[in-house]
Amino acid sequence: MTTPVTHDEVESVFEILERGFGERIPSAYRQALRKATIPDRLLVSRDGAEIAGTVTSEPAQMTLPGEVVAPVAAVVGVAVLPTHRRQGRLRSMMRYQLDDLRARGEDLAVLTSSEARIYQRFGYGPATLASTYRLEKRDLSLLWPERVDLSGVAVRFVERDEAERHFPPLLAAHQPTRAGEVSRLRLGWEDLLGVTTEDEQKGRFFVECVQAGEPVGYAVYRIGRDPGVSGRVLHLVELCALRDSSYLALWSYLLEVDLVDTLVTGHRPTDEPVRWLLSDPRRMVPLRTGEHTYARLVEVAASLAARGYFCDGELTVAVTDPFCEWNTGRYHLSVEGNGTAAVERLPLGGAADLTADVSVLASLYLGGLRPSALAQIGLLEAASPRALATADRLFLGPVPPFSTTSF
């Protein structure tokens, strides 16, 4: 049975997270987690008096195609005890949560998943991709075009307290510039910057890019040794740049850090442009490329109307949603002039230009996947090549969607 948590049970939920993920939560993080928890969004699966699973959500903001920043429910803390799996508990919690989000008027939900294909049966679809890279940086340099001018741009170290003041406004200013960006959740900054203990801070470095006295970007990294890798490794945890100049200055700094042979990134865009400035582009090796953010259209009509589109056109989409039956139906999109769609729900049973499961529509939603590519492998059905071409023009964004944040 899934129910909301009671006030006295919040501490017990942390134990479920520890056992479910197989990792103890340090006391400082537990305290931060307690402050970040919103009790009326925290759900638990019960086995009699015992709590056997948990899921919660937080209100956040996500940038949609067309530089539209919209409210979204960020789903986090999903765990079921290893002793209680294969009992339908995750399904029950997902069912309860989606009903709850709908009742709250929250039309979109997003999450990140530790494993693939867990959440597609609940209508979530992979909507952004990310890559991690390794650069063997010995004798690697940037070949600057003559037009690049970094005069007046500087990179400086900052301590944690200054990073805590300066970095959140920089990320917030960056968020509207790319579809898929999700605002960082309250506990996220503790994850990125570390709590303020000496043990947590000794391995972290924070740098800020400044231009004309104004912060315009930052990077967070660690330096250490990895098993099986000779020499020291710089782990780039996060990089955020508001300008082309700050992007270049931060990458230039990272590639010039002394006494480091290898640079390994956290998740970065699949179209990372710095590769094409490297003296040897082949030294930037993708370690992994895969799905990062999953999206769920809680209310299909409202979600389709919320995002922007990239050309004028009309399209009728038939959506099947076995998990949230209220979405199953036909939707007519009409885009004219300003990239905004008028969305009308039509009666069932008529003709449609596209037919797709709601999870497939969610994968198209942020503009990162081409409808014609998914039709080619049977994930959606098109009434005609012309309808498919219209769908490509309407949905596909100019750059791949990406989320700097994880949650």
| CB atoms inside a 10 Å sphere around CB 280 | 12
User: 206: burial class by Cβ within 10 Å (0-12, 13-18, 19+)?
Assistant: buried
Q: Are 25 and 17 in contact (CB under 8 A)?
A: yes
Half-sphere CA count of 386, side-chain side, radius 13 A: 5
Amino acid at 109: A
Half-sphere CA count of 385, side-chain side, radius 13 A: 0
Picking from 268, 272, 292, the residue whose alpha carbon sits closest to that of residue 281 is: 272
The residue written with tokens 């970095």 in the block is 167
Q: Given the residues 119, 167, 206, 247, select the one marked as catalytic.
A: 119
**What is the rounded CA–CA span in Å between residue 247 and residue 252?**
9
State the pairing for strand pair 380-382/2-4. Answer: unpaired
* Sign of the dihedral through C-alpha 94, 97, 103, 108: negative
Helix axes 385-395, 358-365, angle to 10 degrees: 50
If phi > 0 it is left, if psi is from -120 to 50 it is alpha, else beta; for residue 337 that is: left
119 a catalytic residue: yes
Strand pairing partners for 396? Answer: none
21 a catalytic residue: no
Please identify every residue annotated as catalytic.
Answer: 119, 407
